[in-house]
Amino acid sequence: MKKQIVLISAALISGWVVFSSCNNAGGAVKLQEPVAMSSENSNNGKVNSVISSADPREKTTEDLLAAFKGETTASAKYAAYSKKAEQEGYHQIALLFKAASTAEKIHATNHQSVLEDAGTKVAPVTPEFTVKSTKENLQDAIKGETYEATTMYPEFLKDAESAGNQLALISLNYAFKTEKKHRVMYENALAALDKNAVKSLSVVYYVCATCGNTYDAAPPQRCGICMTGAEKFIKITSL
């Protein structure tokens, strides 16, 4: 039985190696495929820049489509993670996931508006993700936010700057600044989970309806990212 498992594992590993090398070798063949946007795929930005058009305006359209897909997926994923956290008795973490889900939806809608205003049709996406334990879900969320805040959005912002696309810059910047904050909130939540101190986390979140900026305490009079008045914040205290 044990031997069987070892053999299966070996087969899977070698299969993976073959698959990866085929994937790399066949990269040029797949140029026609839409850019896969996944918060887990740290190569995405790189691949994207290799296959993209040299025209910065077209590149920005591709970036916004990828960001729309990523944010739509993140919103659905965090909503599912929120339910899982509640099931596991981590109410405070469930609220954090709900707040982040709400913010990502705002980012997706903003990106979609910029694209549609420029005449680009935005096809609906089917989010794909896996729900695991809350600890693993937090680790996944940190990985995703880190990729977006350190790689994806900085690259997309450079492209939008080159294209001189002011609306894209605004929309991408709202998301970029918010994801940096989400990353810290998820890291704090994971640290609290590890210390068995989840109950010390906030039980109220405020999400700016304009830019998705997220506060885990009473917000200032105006959003620190987009200056929207605090009366337009979405208050999250329950699931």
- Taking the least distance from each CB to Zn ion, the nearer of 115 and 208 is 208
Buried (b) or exposed (e) across 102-134, using 16+ Cβ within 10 A?
bbbbbbbebbbebbeeeeeebeebeeebeeeeb
* 226 touching Zn ion, by CB under 5 A: yes
Smallest Cα–Cα separation from 32: which of 55, 51, 46? 51
* 223 touching Zn ion, by CB under 5 A: yes
Least CB distance from residue 222 to Zn ion, whole Å?
Answer: 8
Report 76-105 residues binding Zn ion (CB under 5 A). none
> Which distant-in-sequence residues (6+ apart) come within 8 Å of 174 by Cβ?
106, 107, 110, 210, 211, 212, 213, 225, 226
Least CB distance from residue 154 to Zn ion, whole Å?
Answer: 20
Q: Which of 99, 100, 208, 236 binds Zn ion (CB under 5 A)?
A: 208
Q: Which of 39, 110, 213, 214 binds Zn ion (CB under 5 A)?
A: 213
* 211 touching Zn ion, by CB under 5 A: yes
- Residue 144 to residues 149, 154, 183: CA-CA distances in angstroms? 9, 14, 9
Single out the segment in contact with Zn ion by CB under 5 A; choices: 76-84, 110-118, 184-192, 225-233. 225-233
Least CB distance from residue 75 to Zn ion, whole Å?
Answer: 17
Alpha-helical segments (H) within the chain:
2-25, 44-51, 56-87, 91-117, 134-147, 153-163, 166-194
- Taking the least distance from each CB to Zn ion, the nearer of 33 and 231 is 231
* 225 touching Zn ion, by CB under 5 A: yes
Judged by CB under 5 A, the number of residues near Zn ion is 8
Q: Which residues bind Zn ion (CB under 5 A)?
A: 208, 210-211, 213, 223, 225-226, 228
